[in-house]
Amino acid sequence: MDLATLSLSVLKGAGPKLRDKLSRLGLRTVQDVLFHLPLRYQDRTHITPIGAIAPGQEALVVGQIELADVAFRRRRTLIVRVADGTGSLILRFFHFNSAQQENFARGRKAKLFGEVRAGPGGLEMVHPEYELSDDHMVVAPDAHLTPVYPTTEGVHQLGLRKLTDQALDRYLGAIHEWLPAELLAPLKLPTLQEALAFVHRPPPGAPVDALLAARHPAQQRLAFEEMLAFHLSLKRLRARMRRHSAPVLVGAGSLYTRFLASLPFTPTGAQQRVLAEIGRDLRMPHPMQRLVQGDVGSGKTLVAAGACLAAIDAGWQAAVMAPTELLAEQHWRNFAHWLAPLGLQVAFLTGSLPAKTRRAMVADVSEGRASLVIGTHALFQEDVQFHRLGLIVVDEQHRFGVHQRLQLREKGAADGLVPHQLIMTATPIPRTLAQSFYADLDVSVIDELPPGRKPVDTVVIPDARRPEVVTRVRDACLTGRQAYWVCPLIEESENLELQTATQTAEALAGALPELRIALVHGRMKAAEKERIMAAFKAGSVHLLVATTVIEVGVDVPNASLMIIENAERLGLSQLHQLRGRVGRGGAQSTCVLLYQSPLSTAARERLAAVRETNDGFEIARRDLDMRGPGEVLGTRQTGDQQFHIADLVRDQALLPKIEEAAALLLEKYPAHVEPIIARWLGRRESYGEV
Ligand code: ADP
Ligand code: MG
């Protein structure tokens, strides 16, 4: 019996309707059900005295019913009061029938589980789960933790529990163990069957704290296999890429030498080292897959330019893809400025170009007149044919998903040759994590900032002191400096963001009549944005009010003051990115984080972290701790790989062992690799299918 193909229709209750809903959760087979793991647990293993419960907490409470009444306020509500001698608690039900109402008879005993919240007249629970019994009966807490499964509309926890019960009873014995004993034994982890049984139905007496923290060996066993599956899929992808051929990019190197001679500075040691690593890759007959991690302002653009020139020198084209039009335009201006003196043509492609310009650009690219193409993802639309594309550079990779990265690999392939790929990111992650999360890539690190940089001074100020900040902007701008004023997304709506930015710009213009103020946002026409950015760069605009479109890449060294409104709403890495727009010139720069009171604890921690350190690696580490890898690496936003049970940060101690395990499997048990990947990544995503 192969559980990987056995339809879950063999389980009782799994009729066509439910199966349809389950398939939305990716559940189609019995194996899928067994690997649909609890998201978390509810702890009903001890009774909390009402006097000891607090808002926000989930608690099991046992008390006596003192009163049950139907109130008619905005809506018909059943209100029940229970007490246990240490305090009393209100229950609210908005949906109930008369039988339910009668059940809550005064004097009966109620066993309740739910989230406690602060209500108008004290603590309450809304629609708690409950069991009622007569007063003399003994009410015992549960013997084990209650699993809570990821679910979807119309599928209830109880239904999922019934399905898992059956799958565990009838089929667990048939689940295949793909990890050989020689691998498992030294890790001292339980077998797959033991682990699955334990995680789905923790037995009485199982250590509650360890399970709630997902640090129990049974959970670690599954997390290990899941991370291994992910790692193997990336390794397989890497192996497949290695089988492709790529152009061997060997040139005289004279373009790069001439380019360097035209720069007002010399590359840092770190830039030179990374360029040398890239150069070695480009001379190989298979595609480079290299990630460059470097803090904001570490000079990744220069490294990108060096790589492009190597490709062009060898007679091939290069493409640079940026995540926003604004950044693409800036790159275009920079690269055109650098490359024109070398007699090279740079094309520009974004979604918002006028049709005629676009046609001309596309022709320059396909007929090979343009050596370099800069653009947004519009670069890789159907009608864009490259003449001889040898290298793709993806800037600010965290804005693109793994999917998009993989799609690129198919693009531009000509004569059976696949272009080299260079990926840049300003969200550096620790080495071991990078080796797992980017196992299909080689990783280079620019671990040095250009000389003479002074760390940005960061201050945190409540919005009530805004007038002081406005004065500070005036003083800075009147002494020849320039400033940004960023208005981030307040609601989940670009329109509203735009509205606040517009209003802020108007208010600032009113308060600072002596300054030239401009507004830039994502909805503007490309030409308009470009005109404003050029004016700011040229120094004819003092203060640039912007939405978060300026978050990545924008480089105006004379700007030395950055104001970020509603800073409490932004993530750590995003704040660091925005702050990175200043501190690029010789002047001492300041970043003002304006916040709306009161601050939540999490927001307070974030703002403190940004104030305390300017080091992007440290910021990324703290961000990973605070928000977890799904947010930091962008997988949540882009819909990429989400783990069922593993957490790359929490479980990082396992990572080195995963590399060893992957090597062992690939060498001695290659037939086990596919089934492990299929079991965990299943239909959702298989990174190998490229
Ligand atoms: P990022 O890594 O954030 O993309 P940029 O490439 O935009 O950084 O570079 C930031 C600034 O530093 C730019 O103004 C750039 O010209 C300058 N820069 C880059 N490399 C050097 C260097 N080796 N010495 C001095 N300045 C440099
Ligand atoms: Mg950059």
Q: Where are the domains of the chain?
A: 8-37+153-205, 46-141, 254-446, 457-613
Question: pLDDT band at 685, cuts 50/70/90?
Answer: very low
Ligand 2 centre and the CA of 557: distance in Å?
Answer: 13
Q: Which atom of ligand 1 is nearest to the CA of 555?
A: 7
Q: What DSSP state is assigned to residue 104?
A: S
Q: Which atom of ligand 1 is nearest to the CA of 452?
A: 25
Nearest C-alpha to atom 19 of ligand 1 is from which residue? 299
**Alpha helix positions (H), 347-488:** 355-366, 402-410, 431-437, 466-478
* Ligand lying nearest the CA atom of residue 270: 1
* Ligand lying nearest the CA atom of residue 397: 2
Cβ neighbours around 551 below 10 Å, total: 24
Cβ neighbours around 602 below 10 Å, total: 11
End-to-end CA distance of the chain: 30
Ligand 1 centre and the CA of 584: distance in Å?
Answer: 8
The finding on whether 581 has its CB within 6 A of some atom of ligand 1 is no
Question: pLDDT band at 139, cuts 50/70/90?
Answer: confident
Please answer whether residues 461 and 594 qualify as being in contact, where contact means their C-beta atoms are separated by less than 8 angstroms: yes
Give the pLDDT of residue 154: 84
For residues 356 and 684, the model is more confident at 356
For residues 597 and 631, the model is more confident at 597
Q: Which atom of ligand 1 is nearest to the CA of 302?
A: 6
Of the ranges 56-65, 69-78, 318-327, 520-529, the best mean pLDDT one: 56-65
Pocket-testing residue among 265, 273, 393, 423, ligand 1, by greatest number of atoms within 8 A of Cβ:
265
Ligand 1 centre and the CA of 448: distance in Å?
Answer: 11
pLDDT(630) > 70: no
pLDDT(686) > 50: no
Please give the average per-residue pLDDT across 638-663, as a whole number: 81
pLDDT digits (tens, 9 = 90+) for 417-472: 889 999 998 877 777 777 777 888 899 999 999 998 888 999 999 999 999 999 99
Percent of the chain with pLDDT over 70: 92
The finding on whether 585 has its CB within 6 A of some atom of ligand 1 is no
Of the ranges 391-395, 449-453, 650-654, the best mean pLDDT one: 391-395
pLDDT(638) > 70: no
For residues 343 and 631, the model is more confident at 343
The finding on whether 555 has its CB within 6 A of some atom of ligand 1 is yes
Question: pLDDT band at 153, cuts 50/70/90?
Answer: confident
Please give the average per-residue pLDDT across 566-588, as a whole number: 88
For residues 121 and 546, the model is more confident at 546
Pocket-testing residue among 259, 275, 298, 394, ligand 1, by greatest number of atoms within 8 A of Cβ:
298
CB-side neighbour CA atoms (13 Å) of 347: 28
Give the pLDDT of residue 683: 52
Give the pLDDT of residue 410: 63
Say yes or no: do domains 254-446 and 457-613 share a fold.
yes
Pocket-testing residue among 274, 293, 326, 584, ligand 1, by greatest number of atoms within 8 A of Cβ:
584
The finding on whether 299 has its CB within 6 A of some atom of ligand 1 is yes
pLDDT digits (tens, 9 = 90+) for 155-188: 888 889 999 999 999 999 999 999 999 998 888 8
pLDDT digits (tens, 9 = 90+) for 213-254: 889 999 999 999 999 998 898 888 888 888 889 999 998 889
Nearest C-alpha to atom 1 of ligand 1 is from which residue? 297
Q: Residue 157 to residues 218, 253, 441, 593, 645: CA-CA distances in angstroms?
A: 22, 64, 40, 43, 18
The finding on whether 268 has its CB within 6 A of some atom of ligand 1 is yes
The finding on whether 301 has its CB within 6 A of some atom of ligand 1 is yes
Question: pLDDT band at 198, cuts 50/70/90?
Answer: very high
**CATH superfamily of this structure's domain 46-141:** Nucleic acid-binding proteins (2.40.50.140)
Tokens of 614: 């300017």
Q: Is the dihedral of CA 383, 386, 390, 391 positive or negative?
A: negative
Nearest C-alpha to atom 9 of ligand 1 is from which residue? 299
For residues 497 and 457, the model is more confident at 457
Tokens of 225: 């296999």
Element (H, E) at 166: helix 157-171
Task: Indicate the CATH number for domain 254-446.
Answer: 3.40.50.300
* Ligand lying nearest the CA atom of residue 271: 1
Nearest C-alpha to atom 26 of ligand 1 is from which residue? 450
Pocket-testing residue among 298, 301, 331, 338, ligand 1, by greatest number of atoms within 8 A of Cβ:
301
Give the pLDDT of residue 297: 87
pLDDT digits (tens, 9 = 90+) for 20-43: 999 888 899 999 999 999 988 988
Task: Indicate the CATH number for domain 457-613.
Answer: 3.40.50.300
Interacting residues of 463 by C-beta distance below 8 A, sequence separation 6+ = 565, 594, 595, 596, 597
Pocket-testing residue among 295, 302, 560, ligand 1, by greatest number of atoms within 8 A of Cβ:
302
Give the pLDDT of residue 497: 61
* Ligand lying nearest the CA atom of residue 301: 1
Give the pLDDT of residue 382: 75
The finding on whether 557 has its CB within 6 A of some atom of ligand 1 is yes
The three-state secondary structure class of 83 is: strand
Task: Please tell me the distance from the alpha carbon of residue 334 to that of residue 556, in angstroms, as a whole number.
Answer: 12
Tokens of 361: 């650009």
The finding on whether 425 has its CB within 6 A of some atom of ligand 1 is no
Ligand 1 centre and the CA of 267: distance in Å?
Answer: 9
Strand 559-564 relative to strand 590-595: parallel, antiparallel, unpaired? parallel
pLDDT(362) > 80: yes
pLDDT digits (tens, 9 = 90+) for 265-318: 999 999 999 999 999 999 999 999 999 999 888 999 999 999 999 999 999 999
Residue 224's Cβ-count burial label (10 Å; 0-12, 13-18, 19+) is buried
The finding on whether 302 has its CB within 6 A of some atom of ligand 1 is yes
For residues 61 and 554, the model is more confident at 61
The finding on whether 297 has its CB within 6 A of some atom of ligand 1 is yes
Pocket-testing residue among 262, 263, 292, 555, ligand 1, by greatest number of atoms within 8 A of Cβ:
555
Task: Please tell me the distance from the alpha carbon of residue 288 to that of residue 119, in angstroms, as a whole number.
Answer: 60
Average pLDDT of every residue of the chain: 88
Task: Please tell me the distance from the alpha carbon of residue 559 to that of residue 47, in angstroms, as a whole number.
Answer: 59
